[in-house]
Amino acid sequence: MTDQIKKPDPTVVVIFGAKGDLTTRKLAPALYNLLLDKWMPEKFAIIGVSHHDLSHEQFLQLLRDGVDGNSRRGKTTDEEWNEFAGYFTYQRADFTKPDTYETLAAHMADLETEWGTRANHLFYLSVSPQFIEPIAQNLGNLAIAKDRDRDRIVVEKPFGRDLATATALNKLLTGIFQESQIYRIDHYLGKETVQNILAFRFANVIFEPIWNRNYIDFVQITVAETVGVEHRGNYYDKSGAMRDMVQNHLLQLLCMVAMEPPTSFQADEIRNRKVDVLHAMRKIRHEDVSQSAVRGQYGSGWLKGEQVPGYREEEGVNPESNTETFAAVKFHLDNWRWQGVPFYVRTGKRMHEKHSSITIQFRPVPHQSFPEESTENMQPNRLIINIQPEMGIKVRFQAKRPGQLMLLNPVEMVFNYEDAYRVEAPEAYETLLLDAMQGDATLFMRADQVEAAWALVMPIIETWESKPSLHFPNYAADTWGPEAAEALLARDGHTWSVQSPTKRKAAAVK
């Protein structure tokens, strides 16, 4: 295995926002695991930049706590930690001052003199949106970010808060850097199970011929979380489920399911096919939003034996907030492959279980040759791609029950990652950081993708903002969201495939 590893060239990783949650919970554990898995470059350094007054030791302790609490390997050992910590330095700095960048450039130049080579530079912006501009402008003034082949800038979400701000941000960044230098993160694309959708669809011959309107009845995508807004009330209350999840993660999943086969695995080829999907999606008109989309907000309730507050009681949230914590949308694609096939997507916080999956529901058989009494339990074929926490693929088909009677029953054929591979899958951020260090942008968002995705959700966001809900909160913790989300599908004669009838509770709250 090790001899297949092509490590990235020497790299300096600069993390702006080095004390933040993302750095401690995601980036540091990802870099740590990449080092232990021998994927980090032979020569590399990580410079953490933030405005907090921290000593080098305090900074390292924060990182270690983050890695201990969040690494898939569990707690660090002293030996491994000390090796990892040796690659870090901390720079306390003001993101808006030019001398911050001069100090940074001098530090990077020293490292490169020591290594005897011009390294790749990866600037990771894990900062509040207002700092993106000063950081990008200041970097753009210096040679450290000018090499179009070696210098890259990684931008975290939120990428704008609507179409206008996303377009302005793209304009700003593409005015300073080449598009090929800009890596916009959607961490769902780094998940193993999400990447596997491409392998499943395009490395097998048996699925593609039936992957169209002739055989598929509808598609469902569910991304459900049990957590509430946690300590992110301030951010979330200005965002909501449509901006936070649907505009990015859910639409990306939809693109993976609906895209045409790429002619190669080149970043731009894959991204072009995904943009085609976004362009084929029917824009929902403002006057049709109530028919095509459902919003929800969680009230207080009980979750796994614990009483949990309602959204409006969460820290940082306006007690009269109109922000949705649940969203469900019915989309259509206007192209030959998908005409007439609804794509239902839903996501929510405080739902019954943490569960993300894609369900492909096939049409019923065209002619029923079995007698009625044989087929009482007959159900159409269904393919479920489980993204998390369960990771795998299931196919539902009919089988004859053993016995003298011809009785048909649905059964499942299951592929499960853990059983099949017995190796631990890397975390999404490990994959994405490694790709960014290697200059592979396949799993990152291009400017036009981001804008096309915003354009699709804008009518829904605008309609919801202009008409506050009179029914919030409208679902309790530990449910699958508001009743209206069931009705959205019931109108088409369908139901959500992921639900647990025994646990369902009335959606009405307080």
Catalytic residues: 249
To ligand BG6, the closest distance from the beta carbon of 248 in angstroms equals 7
Tokens 């016995």 found at = 403
Of the pair 225, 313, the CB lying nearest ligand BG6 is at: 225
Of the pair 223, 280, the CB lying nearest ligand BG6 is at: 223
Exposure of 467 by Cβ count < 10 A (0-12 exposed, 13-18 middle, 19+ buried)? Answer: exposed
Of the pair 138, 220, the CB lying nearest ligand BG6 is at: 220
Of the pair 244, 435, the CB lying nearest ligand BG6 is at: 244
First to last CA, the chain: 57
State residue 443 phi and psi, 5-degree precision.
Answer: -95, 15
To ligand BG6, the closest distance from the beta carbon of 244 in angstroms equals 5
Q: Which helix (H) or strand (E) holds 429?
A: helix 428-438
Q: Does 225 bind ligand BG6 (CB under 6 A)?
A: yes
Distances (CA, A) of 240 to 180, 223, 249, 347, 465: 30, 14, 13, 11, 11
The one-character DSSP state at 206 is S
Of the pair 121, 350, the CB lying nearest ligand BG6 is at: 350
> How, if at all, do strands 216-224 and 355-362 pair?
antiparallel
Distance (Å, rounded) from C-alpha 484 to C-alpha 295?
8
Identify whether 158 is preceded by a cis peptide bond (ω within 30 of 0). Answer: yes
Of the pair 189, 259, the CB lying nearest ligand BG6 is at: 189
Distance (Å, rounded) from C-alpha 184 to C-alpha 182?
6
Of the pair 15, 60, the CB lying nearest ligand BG6 is at: 15
Distance (Å, rounded) from C-alpha 87 to C-alpha 64?
13
Of the pair 102, 353, the CB lying nearest ligand BG6 is at: 353
DSSP string, 275-338: HHHHHHBPPPPGGGHHHHEEEE-B-SEEETTEEE--GGGSTTS-TT----SEEEEEE-B-STTT
Of the pair 99, 230, the CB lying nearest ligand BG6 is at: 230
To ligand BG6, the closest distance from the beta carbon of 490 in angstroms equals 27
To ligand BG6, the closest distance from the beta carbon of 165 in angstroms equals 17
For 120, residues 6+ apart whose C-beta sits below 8 A from its C-beta are 8, 9, 10, 11, 12, 150, 151, 152, 437, 439
Tokens 């992921």 found at = 498
Of the pair 80, 225, the CB lying nearest ligand BG6 is at: 225
Q: Does 9 bind ligand BG6 (CB under 6 A)?
A: no
Q: SS in 3 state form for 437-459?
A: HHCCCCCCECHHHHHHHHHHHHH
Distance (Å, rounded) from C-alpha 507 to C-alpha 21?
33
Distance (Å, rounded) from C-alpha 198 to C-alpha 331?
21
Distance (Å, rounded) from C-alpha 309 to C-alpha 325?
13
Site residue total, ligand BG6 (CB under 6 A): 2
The tokens of 241 are what?
Answer: 């489920």
Shortest Cβ contact with ligand BG6: which residue?
A: 244
Exactly one of 244, 314, 451, 486 binds ligand BG6 (CB under 6 A); that residue is 244
Distance (Å, rounded) from C-alpha 188 to C-alpha 223?
11
Q: Does 217 bind ligand BG6 (CB under 6 A)?
A: no
Q: For the sheet containing 44-50, what is the strand order? A: 88-92, 44-50, 11-16, 120-125, 151-155, 182-184
Cα dihedral 328, 334, 337, 341, rounded to 10, equals 40
To ligand BG6, the closest distance from the beta carbon of 225 in angstroms equals 5
Contacts to ligand BG6 from residues 469-508, by CB under 6 A: none
439: left (phi over 0), alpha (psi -120 to 50) or beta: left
**Interface ranges with ligand BG6 (CB under 6 A):** 225, 244
